[in-house]
Structure 1
Amino acid sequence: MEILSILLFMVVAFFGVASIMNLMVVEKTKEIGMLMAMGARTKDIRNIFLAESSLLGLIGAAAGSLLGLAGVYSLGRVPAGVLAVSPRLVGQGAARFQDNVQSVEFVGVDPALEDRLMSVQESTISGNFSELRFNNRGAFLGVELARNLNIREGGDFYLYLKNDSLQLKVIGILQKDTVKDETLVYLSLSTAQELVGEGDVVSEIGVKLADYTRAPAMAKKLNDISRYEATNWQDFSREIARFVGNQGVTNILFYMFILLISAFVIANTTIMVVSKRRREIGILMAMGAKRRSILMISLRENMLISLPAGVLGAVLGYAAAQAITLLPLNVTSAAAGDGISIAARPEYFAIALAFALSLNFVSGLYPAYSAARLDPVEAISSE
């Protein structure tokens, strides 16, 4: 996935640089013509632009490195914050439906708190996770566990813990695409406490931080101020910790770079269109067109082009996402099968389209303003 991200960034950066250089050529058409009239060869013109491009690239790389270091330093000073806390009662038992028996891990929770901690509702295939608050005999099962028990939503099963048991009804199925799908049983905290029979107790408290990389420091702090043992997710899997690393920060920076480059590409393309149509704009203004009208014409044209472009981008993005799911990458578990899963929800494409239109509008403001500020005489005589 990192390779795909780097390739995408390189492609977008390439188009951004090419667009800027193309704009420079358009802006310096007269100077190029004068140099060639004075005897400059095509090779000399090419070398001039290559030297100028290299110099600008060196300055840009230096500025980008300094800004990157400043960004890393500032991000490193962001304090950790607690986003969610959920008390749990976790135990090992067995589930039986008819003649099918499976070992399970039951988790008693407050559904509202657990959903804020683990976003459980987003993983549900069927059912409403909040119903656990009102149904003390309801349970949510992992999709693989439900398949192995051969039970469906609405079916009753028995949950055993040593010599005690409870009859529960399946009110929902969830899929986390991890090994938890084979063993997980969610039930209300009060129901789990009834099964354990030790009163109003919990076995652990899950804490979600705004910055998950601060988990080790937070665990150490809790160990210092309390008599309970605090562990962090990195203690359970060093490999996952190394893989994840600063993935969140990297993604944010990557998206910022993509947006900035895209904005420059759109703005430069629109400026080139305005440069190509200086004469037409001058004629319109000479015929009585107001500057506001020229501004609105440029913005509307930009938005009309951006709408089909946004739809095409969404279609290509969906096709690329489906192609990625076919890659033989097992990043979760055997239960998830080969490949990776991508949530291609309709609201994501609607947000992407709205964001593309907004980006096109903002990026087209300066070119449209420049077109409206053209002098009619100079524009008509520019060709």
Structure 2
Amino acid sequence: MTPPLFIAMRFIGYRKRAILLSLTGVILGVAFYICAQAQTQGFERFFIKGALGTSGAIVIENRFQSLHTDILTRTAPGILTLGHEKPRKFYEGITDPERLMRAVRDFSNVAGCAPVLEGNAALATDFRQEVFRVQGIDLDLHLKTSALREQIVSGSIEDFQVKPAGLILGFGIADKMRTHVGQDVGLIGPDGEHRTFRVCALFQTGNLFIDEKYGYIHLKAAQSLLQRPFGVSHLMVKLRDPARAPALAAHFERLFQHRSRSWQDRERGSLQVFKLIGVSAAITVSTIILLAGFGIFNILTLMVMDKVREIAVLRSMGYRRRDISAIFLWQGFLVALMGSLLGCLLGAVLTYGISQIPVDIKGFLTTKRFLVHWSATDYLAATVIAFVAIFLASYFPARRAARLAPVDILRGSGQ
């Protein structure tokens, strides 16, 4: 233990109550920061998991043809420049999904690919009629590409598999239509014909929009219902590394001449909301740590004023300016260290406790408990904020102490 550290520990005991108050502020600030970020990221991860499990990392849809057009544009007074526009002409759907799926599967990052035929249909029961989005799927391929099996909350995938006229409904629309597993319902397509389907299972993604608006039937049944015997609406692609989806989607678009959208592009608006909430929570909670830093600043400033004679004695004993400065910086370091360690511990306890609280959230997301995400980055960020705030709070009093002139102090003419 160095002499400045030893003296710093002795000085800390000089104002125990004030130091403990500031230490408590650091502990609470770090803990609340960790807890707030864990909740925000928990709901964000839950949303992303639902998006990936329902629509895949990439959706490949309408074919397009680039149309090259030469146009004259005025770039400056009297100057015309020949430019090239590339508008696109889109053709709905994918006409040869098998060939396109074979090409997509050749990419090493692709873990699965499944065709989907999607359209509007009316769900008819004895209670009412409701227009919803019906998706025709190849069940075997869909289970390899999506999280449908894990999303089933009632009924059986196997029952759906053996029934050509089977139907899997979102939990939200089933509840709205007062429909249950095993019930026969009617689906009415664009031709107005009433077709009978058996509800084999209910799924719940946690995203209320999907759960209230979507249902699945077999691909061949969808081709008949939607009057589209050939092709599909889109392909959903599962990736081993979903973070690389934007680059791969852009490559697919150039290579296959089909519009390709990554999950980051499809969900950009929702993801920006989550990021904004996270930043707002971080700024708000960080103010607690900053206030604790101001407390440390005041404590050390008063301590410098009270300990001027002791500082003068230390200087006369051979302590250099940087040694005096180190005494006060060490005090700040010890407060930051203890505050960060205890704050991280309290943050972990709070995060675990909140994750066990039962709730019944039914809105943008649907869940029965608070969602949290455990991330070492949050603990590191909280610790860094605490150390930076306390260092800045300690630096100026330490600098002032180092500048005190020992001769003037001992003569009674210094501060």
- Considering fraction of residues, name the structure with more helix: 1
- For CA contacts below 8 A with separation 6 or more, give which structure has more relative contact order: 2
TM-score normalised according to structure 2 size: 0.43
Point out the structure with the larger strand share.
Answer: 2
Query: In terms of Rg, which structure is larger?
Result: 2
TM-score normalised over the length of structure 1: 0.46
